[in-house]
Amino acid sequence: MKNTLEEIFYYSYNHIFREFKDSEILFKSSYTNLEKILKSNHISVESGFFYKKIRDGWFLNYEPAQQRSINAKFESLTFAEFIALFHPDRPTRLLLDKLRRKLDLNVTAICNYECEYCYQRSRDTDWEKLVRKAQYYELSIDELKKIIDQAAILGSGSIKITGGEPLTKKGVISLVKYALSKESLNEVELLSNSSLITEHLQELKEITLHKANKFHLHSSIDGLSTEKGLSNTKYSKIHYKKLINIRKELPGIKISINSMWTENLCSKKVLNKIYQFAIENKVDRWTISFPYIVDELKNALKRNHKYIPDYEKVVKLTYYLVKIHRDKGYPFQLSIPLLFKHEMFDKGYTVATQCFDNHPCFPCHGSYLIIGPKGEIMECLLAKPQTNANIKDGDLLEVMLQSIKENSFYDLTEEIVSNKCNNCRYEHLCQGQCVNDRAIKKNNPFAPDTEYGQDNSACNLLSRAEVTIWPLLDRKNKKIISTYINKNGFYPLQNKSIDQIINKFD
């Protein structure tokens, strides 16, 4: 009877032990630690009733599972879930938690658009020429299918196919179809600017038939400009019309859109038009964010310092949008980070470092397992890989484990990166935000000797949101936010704009 629980999991994971050479060792370490956890909770594995007690009592209230929104029955945990919950080593738990949340496949670095703020470094007007070159060094479709196979076996919950612009890569629609065929995947997301979807609409119709609720198109729109010079960007009205046509042709799929605060977006007329588009086309979620502070953004601001609007203007426009959203009864998810995030009002919401083993990059880009176009394992899309681990050098699990060796990303904690935020009024709400945008040393934001400042956009927006946006909320949501505020803390310094911040530090 003592080994009954172990035998249950051995039976469940036996095919994984045969497929991945490191999996059984991971399991044994995790199971041994689970026994210790149970004993510390006065649950004896020697008792004949221990399994029912674990299943019906202890696990239902196990805080790490609740924090990760793992709702599976105890005996139905995927391998990735089991390791993420019970392995004694924090980097290993974080690594498997990345995989079980989402596999982020960057299938190409090439993009056919030329958006000025983008952190993608392979943009070029002659993108078709770059595509021809890339086929010799980027992962093939067959290699990508193998990764999907292995991720599904290990217990990845969803797949995101992205780039660059993924549809510049020949065969990507067949990759989407392949991912949709995996019964264990809950969602297959295509992150695309949607400019090239038109030629694939019929094929997408066919592969999403009876699986529309599993397919998620994540696209972008940043304006409604009629200027010819902007036609090859997400600012253009041409791009907007393409999105309308896509929804018309693919009515059953999940669609979310993302926008960036640039001068092209910042008018009530433009925002209202996109808002109506979201309602009429049953958009699941609209997110509006500030671009990350990368070299491309800095160069754009040098050319035009008004390219990114100042904070006051953004707050006024957010007030306008949130008021409309409230009066219409919140018809879709509207997320404006640091000002109005719908997630803050979802049941069970917690800020990043209150869960996921206190890592400041969870949940954000750093909370997914990212594989780059050449097979490299990446910790974050905004930073260079911290190791040389490459999917071409072994099975997925083997290479994942290589990627955390001597990798300072997995040593990050909120305490390390946010000491300048101690006793700030908003420290518990924002946790300092993006590590990359706070690193004064720009070459490696995860290096042990990196000096961390503050994510100044967070400082500037939260204090303005408290005065202007949050009074629009109902009593319940105001109460939720108030629990995160350090009412005795200091108010962060104010800047006028991102341009002012960059000039201060450069």
Write down the pLDDT at residue 218.
94
Write down the pLDDT at residue 363.
66
Distances (CA, A) of 115 to 125, 245, 281, 338, 412: 11, 22, 25, 23, 31
Higher per-residue confidence, 166 vs 296? 166
Pair 450, 439: CB distance under 8 Å: yes
Distances (CA, A) of 112 to 44, 127, 231, 288, 401: 60, 6, 11, 22, 34
Amino acid at 318: T
- Checking if the pLDDT of 506 tops 80, the result is no
Pair 151, 179: CB distance under 8 Å: no
Distance of CA 38 to the CA centre of its chain: 33
Q: What is the 3 state secondary structure string of 46-96? A: CCCCHHHHHHHHHHHHCHHHHHCCCCCCHHHCCHHHHHHHHCCCHHHHHHH
Pair 216, 190: CB distance under 8 Å: yes
Q: How confident is the model at residue 418 (pLDDT cuts 50, 70, 90)?
A: confident
Positive or negative, the CA dihedral 321, 322, 327, 329 is positive
Q: What is the mean pLDDT of residues 434-440?
A: 79
Positive or negative, the CA dihedral 449, 441, 260, 326 is positive
- 358/428 Cα distance (integer angstroms): 12
For the chain, percent helix, then strand, then coil, each to nearest 5? 50, 10, 40
Q: What is the mean pLDDT of residues 458-484?
A: 87
Write down the pLDDT at residue 275.
96
Mean pLDDT lowest for which of 48-57, 189-198, 412-421?
48-57
Pair 498, 457: CB distance under 8 Å: yes
Express each pLDDT in 219-262 by its tens digit. 999 888 887 766 667 878 888 888 899 999 998 899 999 999 98
Express each pLDDT in 352-380 by its tens digit. 556 668 888 886 778 899 999 999 999 98
Write down the pLDDT at residue 2.
44
